[in-house]
């Protein structure tokens, strides 16, 4: 047996080690169910704005208390979530926006099933930069997904650094994700001695970090190189997700401008079926919009594609589409053009007055180049127009106050073809 295998075997047979006192403890398994139910209640209370503004007496305290009772392994697990008024951390009790972000994170963790979804949820929470809310939250994630996310505390980090020769720091999500990658890799290498549940390896790391066991000597530089690669990858994933979220935010923001402008001008408004639940201006993007398209549109060929057009303005009674808007923030404009063609050609009786590609000012040449392709000759005959972000942003409030119909929008939009 290797020194690591010898250590694991000795640890598993130790009556006082965490493997026998915690990992094999029957109450540990019972807590998985109760903690999941408790977190679902936390999410519901946050959504209903009944969660309150303090930790003591909250549903979150009940959940975290059940974790902190998990023997020595989780002693002090509640400290990170205790409300510290002088420091105003963690800032999820009196900051409603942060509280909602925390609720969305928990809801995603409760409902999702894959490793990728969990990592994406972590990046999204980290991007919120909630003061005082760090990787200690991984203890909640562990009781939802024990095969994907290891628990986290000071002793576990110390044990991991001692065993792997790494320099993982406390308090940073990217460091936690790098450590998680290393833990998953180590667990796979020694799966026959450990468990699919990452809690087993976390228990070993806890016992090493708390001084019960000394790690076997290692002079393998590949361990720290692997950790550095994991850390770099975690940071790159965070950067990429931040860029994707910013792009998505801008797309949703422009949809919101068009929604509000259409309603101000007296139109009934439809928002793309796959975007209706997006958050916007403290509510949902679909707030104040119609719930279904008129039968003349819903029954036409290509109706499934038309439902995905970013924003439609309809006559006040919702009987006919007056204008269609496709917001093309950074992706190819091809799919947006096709959806508008389905609308315009699938129901000639609709006689849609305005078809608009809404895109950043810098994309005008790209939009024109795309529409000059032979495949889109039909588009030129339909008089699709280009509406720049800048023009829309500068004039939308004035149009909302004094405009009528599509006249002002037509004056801002630029002819294509």
Is 80 exceeded by the pLDDT of residue 1? no
pLDDT digits (tens, 9 = 90+) for 287-336: 999 999 988 888 888 888 899 999 999 998 877 899 999 998 766 677 78
- The order of strands in the sheet holding 311-314 is 268-271, 311-314, 321-327, 354-359, 385-388, 414-415
The DSSP letter of residue 374 is: G
Cβ-proximal residues to 386 (8 Å cutoff; 6+ apart), any chain: 356, 357, 359, 364, 367, 368, 413, 414, 415, 416
Is 43:34 a contact under the CB 8 Å cutoff? no
Is 23:31 a contact under the CB 8 Å cutoff? no
- Residue 147, token pair as written in the block: 């095969």
Is 385:416 a contact under the CB 8 Å cutoff? yes
**Model pLDDT, residue 266:** 93
Cβ-proximal residues to 111 (8 Å cutoff; 6+ apart), any chain: none
Residue 179 burial by CB count (10 A; 0-12/13-18/19+): exposed, middle or buried?
buried
The pTM of this model reads: 0.58
> Whole-angstrom distance between the N-terminal and C-terminal Cα of the chain?
74
**Model pLDDT, residue 230:** 60
Q: What's the mean per-residue pLDDT of the chain?
A: 86
- Residue 85, token pair as written in the block: 């008024």
pLDDT digits (tens, 9 = 90+) for 245-278: 555 558 889 999 999 999 999 999 999 998 888 8
Cβ-proximal residues to 240 (8 Å cutoff; 6+ apart), any chain: none
Choose the weakest-confidence range: 154-168, 219-233, 312-326, 400-414: 219-233
Q: What are phi and psi of 356, to 5 degrees?
A: -130, 130
d(CA 187, CA 401): 63
Is 53:88 a contact under the CB 8 Å cutoff? no
Cβ-proximal residues to 216 (8 Å cutoff; 6+ apart), any chain: 3, 4, 6, 7, 163
Is 240:174 a contact under the CB 8 Å cutoff? no
Is 218:162 a contact under the CB 8 Å cutoff? no
pLDDT digits (tens, 9 = 90+) for 213-235: 888 766 566 665 665 676 577 56
pLDDT digits (tens, 9 = 90+) for 93-108: 999 989 999 999 999 9
Closest C-alpha among 223, 224, 218, 266 to residue 405: 266
pLDDT digits (tens, 9 = 90+) for 245-254: 555 558 889 9
Q: Which residue has the tokens 């004056």?
A: 411
Is 159:206 a contact under the CB 8 Å cutoff? yes
DSSP reduced 3-state for 351: coil
Q: How confident is the model at residue 400 (pLDDT cuts 50, 70, 90)?
A: very high
Is 70 exceeded by the pLDDT of residue 407? yes
Tell me what the mean pLDDT of segment 161-186 comes to: 92
**Model pLDDT, residue 4:** 87
């Amino acid at each position: 047996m290797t020194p690591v295998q010898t250590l694991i075997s000795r640890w598993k047979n130790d009556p006082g080690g965490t493997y026998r006192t915690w990992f094999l403890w029957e109450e540990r398994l019972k807590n998985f169910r109760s903690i999941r139910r408790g977190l679902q209640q936390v999410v519901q209370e946050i959504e209903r704005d009944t969660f309150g503004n303090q930790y003591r007496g909250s549903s979150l305290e009940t959940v975290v208390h059940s974790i902190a009772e998990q023997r020595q392994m989780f002693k002090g697990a509640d400290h990170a979530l205790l409300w510290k008024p002088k420091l105003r951390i963690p800032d999820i009790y009196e900051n409603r926006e942060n509280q909602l972000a925390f609720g969305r994170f928990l809801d995603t963790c409760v409902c999702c099933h894959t490793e990728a979804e969990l990592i994406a949820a972590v990046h999204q929470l980290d991007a919120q930069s909630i003061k005082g809310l760090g990787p200690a939250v991984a203890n909640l994630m562990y009781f939802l997904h024990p095969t994907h996310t290891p628990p986290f505390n000071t002793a576990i980090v110390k044990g991991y650094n001692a065993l792997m020769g790494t320099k993982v720091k406390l308090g940073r999500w990217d460091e936690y994700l790098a450590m998680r990658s290393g833990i998953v890799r180590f667990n796979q290498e020694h799966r026959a001695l450990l468990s699919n549940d990452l809690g087993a390896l976390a228990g070993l790391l806890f016992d090493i970090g708390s001084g019960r066991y000394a790690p076997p000597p290692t002079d393998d530089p590949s361990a720290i190189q692997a950790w550095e690669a994991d850390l770099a990858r975690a940071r790159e994933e965070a950067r990429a997700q931040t860029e994707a979220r910013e792009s998505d935010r801008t797309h949703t923001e422009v949809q919101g401008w068009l929604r509000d402008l259409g309603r101000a001008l007296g139109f009934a408004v439809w928002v793309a079926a796959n975007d209706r639940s997006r958050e916007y201006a403290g509510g949902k993007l679909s707030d104040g919009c119609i719930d279904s398209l008129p039968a003349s549109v819903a029954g036409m060929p290509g109706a499934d594609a038309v439902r995905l057009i970013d924003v439609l303005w309809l006559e006040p009674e919702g009987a006919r589409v007056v204008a269609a808007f496709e917001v093309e923030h950074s992706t190819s404009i091809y799919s947006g053009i096709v959806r508008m063609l389905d609308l315009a050609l699938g129901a000639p009786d609709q006689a849609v007055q305005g078809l608009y590609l809404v895109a950043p000012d810098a994309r005008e040449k790209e939009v024109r180049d795309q529409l000059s392709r032979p495949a889109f000759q039909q588009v030129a005959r339909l008089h699709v127009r280009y509406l720049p972000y800048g023009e829309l942003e500068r004039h939308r409030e004035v149009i909302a106050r004094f405009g009528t119909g599509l006249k002002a929008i037509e004056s801002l939009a630029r002819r294509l073809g």
